[in-house]
Amino acid sequence: MKYTPENITELNKGEVFVFGSNTMGIHGAGAAKLAMEKFDAKFGVGCGPTGRCYAIPTKDNKIQTLPITRIKEFVDSFLNYAKNKSHKTFLVTKIGCGLAGLKIANIAPMFKNKTENVILPEEFHDYI
Protein backbone atom coordinates (compact mmCIF):
# COMPACT_ATOMS: atom_id res chain seq x y z
CA MET A 1 0.00 0.00 0.00
CA LYS A 2 1.24 3.49 -0.84
CA TYR A 3 1.38 6.22 1.79
CA THR A 4 2.01 9.94 1.65
CA PRO A 5 5.68 10.54 2.52
CA GLU A 6 6.22 12.12 5.95
CA ASN A 7 8.28 14.99 4.56
CA ILE A 8 7.48 15.97 1.00
CA THR A 9 10.25 18.04 -0.55
CA GLU A 10 9.44 17.60 -4.21
CA LEU A 11 6.62 16.47 -6.44
CA ASN A 12 6.90 14.10 -9.36
CA LYS A 13 5.03 14.81 -12.57
CA GLY A 14 1.29 14.48 -12.00
CA GLU A 15 1.51 14.66 -8.19
CA VAL A 16 -0.53 17.19 -6.21
CA PHE A 17 0.29 18.33 -2.66
CA VAL A 18 -2.90 18.36 -0.53
CA PHE A 19 -2.65 20.53 2.57
CA GLY A 20 -4.76 22.02 5.33
CA SER A 21 -5.37 25.74 4.96
CA ASN A 22 -7.48 28.57 6.26
CA THR A 23 -10.34 30.07 4.28
CA MET A 24 -8.40 33.32 3.73
CA GLY A 25 -5.52 31.52 2.05
CA ILE A 26 -2.93 32.97 4.43
CA HIS A 27 -0.29 30.28 4.09
CA GLY A 28 1.93 31.35 6.97
CA ALA A 29 2.93 28.13 8.70
CA GLY A 30 3.06 24.34 8.53
CA ALA A 31 2.19 22.47 5.36
CA ALA A 32 0.44 25.57 3.97
CA LYS A 33 3.67 27.54 4.09
CA LEU A 34 5.50 24.67 2.39
CA ALA A 35 2.77 24.57 -0.27
CA MET A 36 3.30 28.24 -1.06
CA GLU A 37 7.10 28.20 -0.88
CA LYS A 38 7.76 24.96 -2.80
CA PHE A 39 4.65 23.99 -4.75
CA ASP A 40 3.24 27.28 -6.06
CA ALA A 41 0.14 27.57 -3.83
CA LYS A 42 -1.16 31.11 -4.25
CA PHE A 43 -1.58 33.48 -1.32
CA GLY A 44 -5.29 34.23 -0.91
CA VAL A 45 -6.48 30.87 -2.28
CA GLY A 46 -7.68 28.94 0.76
CA CYS A 47 -9.78 26.28 -0.90
CA GLY A 48 -9.39 24.10 -3.97
CA PRO A 49 -6.68 23.78 -6.59
CA THR A 50 -3.80 26.25 -6.38
CA GLY A 51 -0.41 25.85 -8.03
CA ARG A 52 0.62 22.19 -7.80
CA CYS A 53 -1.55 21.84 -4.72
CA TYR A 54 -5.05 21.46 -3.39
CA ALA A 55 -6.07 23.42 -0.28
CA ILE A 56 -8.57 21.93 2.18
CA PRO A 57 -9.64 24.49 4.81
CA THR A 58 -9.38 23.40 8.43
CA LYS A 59 -9.40 26.96 9.83
CA ASP A 60 -11.66 29.96 9.22
CA ASN A 61 -11.00 33.62 8.35
CA LYS A 62 -9.97 34.33 11.96
CA ILE A 63 -7.60 31.33 11.96
CA GLN A 64 -9.87 29.40 14.31
CA THR A 65 -10.34 25.66 13.75
CA LEU A 66 -13.47 24.89 11.75
CA PRO A 67 -16.14 22.49 13.02
CA ILE A 68 -15.55 18.88 11.93
CA THR A 69 -18.79 18.94 9.90
CA ARG A 70 -17.53 21.91 7.86
CA ILE A 71 -14.13 20.30 7.26
CA LYS A 72 -15.94 17.15 6.09
CA GLU A 73 -17.75 19.23 3.44
CA PHE A 74 -14.40 20.50 2.15
CA VAL A 75 -12.94 16.97 2.17
CA ASP A 76 -15.96 15.64 0.24
CA SER A 77 -15.51 18.40 -2.33
CA PHE A 78 -11.83 17.46 -2.66
CA LEU A 79 -12.62 13.76 -3.07
CA ASN A 80 -15.08 14.57 -5.84
CA TYR A 81 -12.45 16.73 -7.54
CA ALA A 82 -9.81 13.98 -7.25
CA LYS A 83 -12.21 11.38 -8.65
CA ASN A 84 -12.51 13.49 -11.79
CA LYS A 85 -8.73 13.88 -12.12
CA SER A 86 -7.74 10.22 -12.24
CA HIS A 87 -4.59 11.09 -14.22
CA LYS A 88 -3.18 12.86 -11.13
CA THR A 89 -1.94 11.50 -7.80
CA PHE A 90 -2.99 13.45 -4.71
CA LEU A 91 -0.62 13.29 -1.72
CA VAL A 92 -2.73 14.16 1.31
CA THR A 93 -0.88 15.54 4.33
CA LYS A 94 -2.19 15.18 7.90
CA ILE A 95 -4.66 18.02 7.35
CA GLY A 96 -6.04 19.51 10.53
CA CYS A 97 -3.76 17.40 12.74
CA GLY A 98 -1.02 19.99 13.20
CA LEU A 99 -1.78 23.65 13.75
CA ALA A 100 -5.56 23.12 13.75
CA GLY A 101 -5.12 20.71 16.68
CA LEU A 102 -7.47 17.96 15.54
CA LYS A 103 -6.87 14.25 16.03
CA ILE A 104 -6.15 11.79 13.22
CA ALA A 105 -9.10 9.74 14.53
CA ASN A 106 -11.39 12.67 13.64
CA ILE A 107 -9.94 13.46 10.21
CA ALA A 108 -8.95 10.09 8.72
CA PRO A 109 -12.49 8.61 8.49
CA MET A 110 -13.47 11.50 6.21
CA PHE A 111 -11.35 9.87 3.50
CA LYS A 112 -12.92 6.38 3.62
CA ASN A 113 -14.52 6.83 0.17
CA LYS A 114 -11.32 7.97 -1.52
CA THR A 115 -10.30 6.85 -4.99
CA GLU A 116 -7.03 5.04 -5.74
CA ASN A 117 -5.31 8.25 -6.85
CA VAL A 118 -5.67 9.75 -3.34
CA ILE A 119 -2.70 8.73 -1.18
CA LEU A 120 -3.02 9.14 2.59
CA PRO A 121 -0.59 9.31 5.50
CA GLU A 122 0.12 5.88 6.97
CA GLU A 123 -1.49 6.88 10.29
CA PHE A 124 -4.84 7.49 8.60
CA HIS A 125 -5.24 3.84 7.58
CA ASP A 126 -5.85 2.68 11.16
CA TYR A 127 -9.08 4.73 11.18
CA ILE A 128 -10.52 3.87 7.77
Task: Report residue 72's pLDDT band, with 50, 70 and 90 as the boundaries.
Answer: very high
Distance (Å, whole) CA 16 – CA 75: 15
Fold observed for domain 15-127: Leucine Aminopeptidase, subunit E; domain 1 (3.40.220)
Task: Report residue 1's pLDDT band, with 50, 70 and 90 as the boundaries.
Answer: confident
Q: What is the mean pLDDT of the chain?
A: 96
Domains in the chain: boundaries: 15-127
User: The pTM is what?
Assistant: 0.96
The pLDDT of 99-119, averaged and rounded, is: 96
pLDDT of 12 over the 90 cut:
yes
What's the pLDDT score for residue 119? 98
pLDDT of 2 over the 90 cut:
yes
Say whether 62 sits in a helix, a strand or coil.
coil
